[in-house]
Structures are given as C-alpha cells and as structure tokens.
Structure 1
C-alpha cells in the first residue's frame, strides 16, 4: 500500500469512526465514559501517579471529567501552540478558553507542567489498534510529543471506546505506539 492509499484509508477510517462515535446516544456515551473512568481508577498506573496529563472531551471522545475533581492528582491539560502541545495545570475551579481547533484549553498564563513532573499521559484517540498505534485527528501533535526524548519513557494510555479498538491501523514511520489502551470494558495490553 503506497502513501496515498494509506492516507486515504486513514482519512476514510477516521471519518467513519468519528461518525459512529458522534452518532452514539448521549446516555450510552455517558455510561461508557463513566465505565472508562471507573476502570482507570482501579489501574495501578493511575493510582500511583501524581501528575496526570489528560484532555477535555471533544466531539464525543470518552469523557474523563468525573476524574478531574479528585484533588489527590495534579491535572495537566494541553494547549496547541503552533505545532506543539504545551501543558498547563488546571483545576475544576479554573476557567478555560476555546483553542484554535474549537477544543477547550487552559489559559496561557496557567502554570506550566514540565515533562520531568509527569507520571502518566491519558491520550485521546479516534482509534487504537492491538499494537498500541493510535489514529488521531491527523495533526500529529501527540506523535511529535511522544517522539521527544523527555517524553519517551512516560507511561501512556490510549482512551477509546470498544468499537474503536481495532486489530490493525494503517501506520506511518513517525507513528508512536502507546504503551496501554483502556476502553469501557477495561485495560487492554498493547
């Protein structure tokens, strides 16, 4: 399969999975998101972490917001700056702003989080495969982040619904596999 075929199949797969996700009834989305949160809370990776990088749900991604009120953790959220993600501390008492892609972000003046302080990264995904590769929205933000030396050893968990956990995704040389994947049915080892 050449590069053009892979890009087309990635774009087509992304479109189909996003359509499936966004057509999920809100009640089902909430129930599945809540199960993912419950599963995370029983994970040793999660319970032993102190600083966790997460995301604000967008376009019916699994919603992790029930976790954010737990003050035993320091929560970090991304801001898109150019082609990079900048991470900031955020609490449920802080406001957010809408970023360039329509995604909620912390304010630029919120305290920054340095890679050395991060214990776990919960990664939003359109899909993940059994090898840990993810399909994102196509901007490459997480692939660039995870290829940097200061992020290479950080535990990562891809967060997807079961229907988006697939045997194999088309991958590119720059794609970085995640170390773990969680769905509403639990932890799956990649």
Structure 2
C-alpha cells in the first residue's frame, strides 16, 4: 500500500480529529510545516471555523512559548525561517492540546523530533503543562526501534494522529 499524498494525509488527520472527543478542546497549539512534516493547516482551518483558539510556537532566548495565531495575522519569520505570531505568550495551562511535529514515532509513545529539543524543554520545564501531547506524523514514520534513542529528557506523547487515525498511548498514567 502506498502512502497518500501529503495534502490528502493533512486533510485526513483533520477529519479524524473532528470525529474524536479531543475536538471538544477550545485551545489548540499547532506548528507551521517546515521540513516535510505532516501539515496541520487543515486542523487550523477547521479550528477557526469552529471558533477555537489556535496557537503557534515562538522561539525565545530561553526556549519556546506559544502565542495565539489568528487567520488574518501577519507572521514574523524566526531565525529558522518559520513564521511566528507577534502577540503575547499564553499561559501553558490554557493549552488543551499541543500537536507536535514528528520525524519518527514508536508504538510506545516515543517521539523523535527535529533535534532542537524545544518541545521537550517546554513540556518538561518549570511551567505546568497539562495539555494532551499529540504527535502528527505519517503511518510510515513509525519505527519501534527508535525506542533505543530515548533519552531521560524526552517527553512522551499521549497519542499520535496519522492519516489512518488517532492512536492513544498510556505514557503518563501517573500524572
């Protein structure tokens, strides 16, 4: 079986999310596609239509924060050439779901990112983050041998959303 085209996969993840109880969340943190990640723009469009608040990461000197992103906002490019909203950072406790860009993932809830550690530092930092952590990826990015790369600072996922659906992990049962 061949993987669907990236646009079709992006549309499918939005369809799967809207069919799940996670869609009840009103405050969603997304990212802008940069290097072949699964594109969350269809989720953003559906969220705006539903009156939800959408947030994007903003890289700071001390790590990463999230600022609200409205469909009409002009974004400023950061040092990586990725657009960022220019508003005030939101409180981490406001976020209900954080969708994370994912290079690879395992069935045990491990996520391999781009290597900067921004999400792991944000999720494991001093500020309390209670949001669901959902990786966005293609099915073909699953590789259970990635578990061998897990480091103590790596933050687990609560689920992975792919073109074929949402899989939940029981990685933070003690939280």
For Structure 1 versus Structure 2, the TM-score category normalised by the shorter chain is 0.7 to 0.9
| TM norm structure 1 | 0.79
Counterparts in 2 of 1:86-101, with a 5 A limit?
A: 86-101=65-80
- Report how far residue 149 of structure 1 moved: 4.7
After superposition, the C-alpha distances for 1:114-134 in whole angstroms (9 at most, x for unaligned) are 112111111111111111111
Corresponding residue SS for 2:57: strand
Unaligned runs of 5+ in 1: 1-23
The TM-score, its normalising length taken from structure 2, stands at 0.85
Residue 142 of structure 1 aligns to a residue whose secondary structure is: helix
| Deviation (angstroms), 1:143 | 0.7
Return the match for 2:82 from 79, 103, 118: 103
Tell whether the 8 Å contact from 2:136 to 2:160 is kept in structure 1 after alignment: yes
d(CA) in 2 for partners of 1:85, 1:157: 17
SS in 2 for 1:35: helix
Matched residues in 2 for 1:149 and 1:116: separation? 12
Deviation at 1:151, TM superposition (A): 3.8
Q: Any conservation in 1 of the 2:10–2:42 contact (CA below 8 Å)?
A: no
Aligned twin of 1:28: 5
- Asked if 2 retains the 8 angstrom alpha-carbon contact of 1:51 and 1:73, the reply is yes
Matches within 5 A, 1:122-141: 122-141=99-118
Tell me if 1:53 matches 2:29.
yes
Structure 2 residue matching 1:59: 3-state secondary structure: coil
CA RMSD between the two structures: 1.9
| C-alpha deviation, 1:113, in angstroms | 1.1
Partner SS for 1:68: helix
Note if contact 1:83-1:141 (Cα within 8 Å) is conserved in structure 2. no
Aligned length: 163
Aligned to 1:164: 141
Give the structure with higher Rg (CA): 1
